Structure 1
Amino acid sequence: MPYPEGHKLKVRGRIIESAAKAFRTNGIREISVPVIMKGAGLTHGGFYSHFDNKEQLVLETCQYAISDTIALLQKAADQAGEEAKIEAVIDFYLSPYHRDQKELGCILPALSAEIPLSSEEVGQVFTQELQRMIDFISDLAQIDPAAGSAVMSLMVGTIVLARSVSDSKLSDQLLTAGKQNAKGLLGIARASN
């Protein structure tokens, strides 16, 4: 009996979602294809009917994960008043929820340290996806891309450090300081326009 139309695409989507959760939580190198397939509720053997290799999955997962993060941040922006959209994005990104829900969060903090050790193609896709996040921040804040890069860098760095420390009080302080300074950068960027 043949599978219904779109079945293969749905299964591929489940694999990418499983990979996104796994990579966000543990990085690329620590996660094997069998773990990803198990997370998708599938057996390891079916992987190669969807992807040529793990690198292809990494490429598509980076693109998926950034689209997912942008949609999440856009939702936070849409719930805020017109003047407070970028502030709502900063507040969400640098929230305890985002810090603690690694498997659902932004993939940039999770993979930044691994990308220089990956293939050139993975590095190129990661760069494109980072640029997409910078463009999203810049457009939403109505600031130039250089300022958007600074805000995005501060946000990603803050999350990396807030997730890295074992002291919850220090972690919360890092989030608070990151929010204040990201919003401060916005003020400087907007004043110079």
Structure 2
Amino acid sequence: MPYPEGHKLKVRGKIIESAAQAFRTNGIRDISVPFIMKGAGLTHGGFYAHFDNKEQLVAEACRYAINDTISFLQEVADQENAAPKINAVIDYYLSSYHRDKTEMGCILPALSSEIARSSDEVRQVFTHELERMIDFISKVAKVDTAIGSALLSTMVGTLVLARSVNDSKLSDSFLAAGKQHAKELIKT
């Protein structure tokens, strides 16, 4: 009996979602195809029916994760009644909740260092998605992309450092300082 129409696309989506979650939490190098497929509720033998290789999956997972992050941050901004709406985005992005929920957080702080050593295909997709994120931040902040780039860099760098230390007070101080500096960037 044949699969229903759209089945292959649905399965591919489950694999990409599983990969994005795994990469957000553990990076690229330490995650195997069988681990991703198990997370999608599938056997690893079916992987190559959907992707040519792991690099292609990494690229698709980056697209998915950035779309997910932009959609979520847009909801955060839309729920903010006071101006500027970017403050709500900054407060969420640099929150202890976002710091601690790596599996559903922004993929930029999770993968940037590994992407620098990835294939040109992955780096091209990552670059495009990073530009989309900068455009989104710039639009919500109502600033040009130069300031938007600085703002996003501040937010991502702050989150990387906050996640890197094992001292909760130091981590919280990074988040607080990052929020303050990010908000000062948009006042100029």
TM-score band by shorter chain is over 0.9
Letter in 2 for 1:92: Y
1:74 has 2:74 as partner: yes
Q: Which letter maps to 1:148?
A: G
Which residue identity is paired with 2:43? T
Regions of 4+ moved over 6 Å? none
Write the letter of the residue equivalent to 2:61: T
d(CA) in 2 for partners of 1:15, 1:177:
37
Give the Cα separation in 2 of the matches to 1:187 and 1:66: 26
Please list, as runs of the form range in 1=range in 2, the aligned pairs for 1:1-193 lying within 5 A after superposition.
1-81=1-81, 83-188=83-188
Instruction: For 1:82 and 1:162, locate their aligned partners in 2 and report how far apart those are by CA, in whole Å.
Output: 27
What code does the residue aligned with 1:12 have?
A: R
- Partner-residue secondary structure (3-state), 1:132: helix
Deviation at 1:82, TM superposition (A): 5.3
Amino acid at match of 1:179: K
Shift of 1:84: 3.0
Contact residue 73 and residue 89 of structure 2 kept, 8 A? yes
Give the Cα–Cα distance (whole angstroms) in 2 for the partners of residues 116 and 177 of structure 1.
27
Counterpart-to-counterpart distance in 2, 1:75 and 1:102: 19
Work out the number of aligned pairs and report it. Answer: 188
Percent sequence identity over aligned pairs = 73
Give 1:56 deviation, angstroms.
0.7
Where does structure 2 lack aligned partners over 5 or more consecutive residues? none
Query: What is the distance in 1 between the residues matched to 2:71 and 2:100?
Result: 19
**Whole-angstrom CA distance in 2 between matches of 1:113 and 1:47:** 26
How far is 1:125 from its partner? Answer: 1.0
Structure-1-length-normalised TM-score: 0.96
**Offset at residue 5 of structure 1 (A):** 1.2
Inter-partner Cα distance in structure 1 for 2:50 and 2:82: 42
